[in-house]
């Protein structure tokens, strides 16, 4: 017997699409399922942050970013910058905004819950959206994903040493992972954005707990361990003083990657789009890119998560 997690996706026309993920028969996946069920007993308010916009829609994201920053500036004791055009949104600016988000996170108890808190959470999501969109400007394959959690947040469980069996840097299309669920950046994110400042500040934060949060990944298949290779090349080219701060001599402390808990079942929703099942199982097959652009890009919300034992 194994467990299937069913995600009910809503598109922009409010039509339902069902994605089914086979959960691994692991302690970690079972504990994640239990946290989802516990959250559902208290609330069924699902919050989803989609990364599924193409580069041509960056002006829309810029407009929302400015609105969110405006809300922050109206309720905060520090003024953040707004932006005139998309060309300003380079990685340096996005790193700066993310640092401000982390600073707020460390001060969160100084402020009452409300508009300011919600705006900073949305700012963080928009930062990651901009990063993904700008990195795929001229690419045929547009990586897409959805980060799902229950609100209000607050139910967590610590990760165990044995859970690291499922820690991976290989992020493949159709895989299900735990959400990072940690304020700040881990080592893989630091490398990806070459954020040396966060290293010097000693603010790299590995994941030590998890929640009902999960990551539905529809990025391009990592068939040659590209993420791990890029991390090693980046590390080897660091200055000596910065390199000494990266715990490559302790893989448990480094905690590189994300925790994998399941994989996608190719069901009717995919076979109606392209009937050859074997093509869906081929790494980097073009049909995956087409499905992302034509179907996943239309999703705007996740309505429900249900579990079924089969």
CB 190: neighbour CB atoms within 10 A?
22
Phi, psi dihedral angles at 305 (to 5 degrees): -125, 125
Q: Give the model's pLDDT for residue 44.
A: 67
User: Of 84 and 264, which is predicted with more confidence?
Assistant: 264
Q: In whole angstroms, what is the distance from residue 150 CA to residue 226 CA?
A: 32
User: Of 278 and 89, which is predicted with more confidence?
Assistant: 278
Cα maximum dimension of the chain? 57
Q: What would the mean pLDDT of 161-185 be, rounded to a whole number?
A: 95
Confidence of residue 132 (pLDDT cuts 50, 70, 90): confident
Question: How many angstroms from the chain centroid is the CA of residue 41?
Answer: 25
- What are the pLDDT digits (tens) for 289-302? 999 999 999 999 99
Answer yes or no: is pLDDT of 41 > 80. Answer: yes
Answer yes or no: is pLDDT of 278 > 70. Answer: yes
Q: Note whether 190 and 143 are within 8 A (CB).
A: no
Q: Give the model's pLDDT for residue 281.
A: 95
C-alpha angle with apex 56: 55 to 60, nearest 5 degrees? 100
Q: In whole angstroms, what is the distance from residue 91 CA to residue 97 CA?
A: 10
Please report, for residues 18, 119, 142, 230, the alpha-carbon distance to residue 286 in angstroms, rounded to integers and kept in the order given: 22, 37, 11, 24
CB 262: neighbour CB atoms within 10 A?
24
Q: Give the model's pLDDT for residue 53.
A: 82
Q: What would the mean pLDDT of 244-262 be, rounded to a whole number?
A: 96
Please report, for residues 52, 118, 268, 270, the alpha-carbon distance to residue 126 in angstroms, rounded to integers and kept in the order given: 12, 12, 32, 29
> Considering the chain, what percentage of its residues have pLDDT values greater than 90?
77
**Which residues are paired to 259 by β-bridges?**
167
Would you call 142 exposed, middle or buried from its count of C-beta atoms within 10 A (0-12, 13-18, 19+)? Answer: buried
Q: What is the pTM of this model?
A: 0.81
Answer yes or no: is pLDDT of 206 > 90. Answer: yes
Q: Note whether 157 and 209 are within 8 A (CB).
A: yes
Q: In whole angstroms, what is the distance from residue 235 CA to residue 249 CA?
A: 12
Answer yes or no: is pLDDT of 209 > 70. Answer: yes
**Which residues are paired to 226 by β-bridges?**
none
User: Of 273 and 87, which is predicted with more confidence?
Assistant: 273
- What are the pLDDT digits (tens) for 222-251? 988 999 999 999 999 999 999 999 999 999
Q: Give the model's pLDDT for residue 299.
A: 95
**Residue 183 CB partners (closer than 8 Å, separation 6+):** 102, 105, 106, 205
Answer yes or no: is pLDDT of 269 > 70. Answer: yes
Phi, psi dihedral angles at 47 (to 5 degrees): -110, 130
Q: In whole angstroms, what is the distance from residue 55 CA to residue 59 CA?
A: 9
Mean pLDDT (the chain, rounded): 93
H-run or E-run covering 308: strand 299-309
Confidence of residue 120 (pLDDT cuts 50, 70, 90): very high
Q: Is 60 helix (H, G, I), strand (E, B) or coil?
A: helix
Q: Give the model's pLDDT for residue 163.
A: 98
Q: Is 244 helix (H, G, I), strand (E, B) or coil?
A: coil
Q: Give the model's pLDDT for residue 164.
A: 97
The b-or-e profile of 111-122 (16+ CB within 10 A means b, else e) is: eeeeebbebbbb
Q: Is 167 helix (H, G, I), strand (E, B) or coil?
A: strand
- What are the pLDDT digits (tens) for 62-88? 999 999 999 999 999 999 999 888 887
């Amino acid at each position: 017997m194994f467990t299937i997690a069913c995600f009910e996706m809503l598109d922009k026309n409010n039509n339902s699409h069902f994605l089914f993920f086979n959960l691994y028969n692991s302690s970690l996946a079972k504990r994640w399922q239990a946290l989802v069920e516990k959250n559902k007993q208290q609330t069924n308010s699902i919050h989803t942050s989609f990364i599924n916009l193409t580069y041509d829609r960056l002006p829309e994201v810029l407009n929302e970013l400015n609105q969110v920053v405006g809300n922050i500036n109206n309720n905060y004791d520090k003024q953040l910058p707004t932006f005139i055009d998309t060309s300003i949104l380079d990685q340096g600016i996005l790193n700066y905004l993310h640092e401000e988000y982390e600073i707020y996170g460390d001060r969160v108890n100084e402020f009452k819950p409300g508009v300011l808190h919600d705006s900073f959470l949305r700012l963080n999501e928009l930062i990651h959206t901009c990063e993904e969109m700008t990195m795929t400007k001229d690419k045929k394959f547009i990586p897409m994903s959805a980060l799902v959690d229950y609100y209000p947040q607050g139910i967590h469980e610590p990760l165990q040493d044995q859970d690291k069996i499922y820690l991976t840097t290989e992020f493949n299309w159709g895989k299900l992972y735990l959400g990072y669920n940690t304020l700040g950046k881990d080592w893989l994110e630091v490398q990806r954005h070459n954020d040396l400042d966060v290293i010097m500040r000693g603010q790299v934060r590995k994941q030590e707990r998890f929640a009902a949060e999960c990551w539905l990944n529809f990025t391009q298949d990592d068939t040659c361990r590209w993420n791990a290779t890029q991390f090693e090349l980046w590390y080897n080219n660091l200055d000596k003083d910065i390199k000494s701060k990266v715990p490559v001599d302790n893989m448990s402390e480094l905690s590189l990657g994300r925790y994998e808990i399941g994989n996608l079942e190719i069901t009717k929703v995919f076979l109606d789009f392209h009937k050859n099942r074997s093509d869906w199982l081929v790494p980097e097959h073009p049909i995956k890119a087409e499905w992302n652009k034509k179907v996943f890009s239309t999703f705007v919300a996740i309505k429900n998560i249900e579990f079924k034992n089969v």
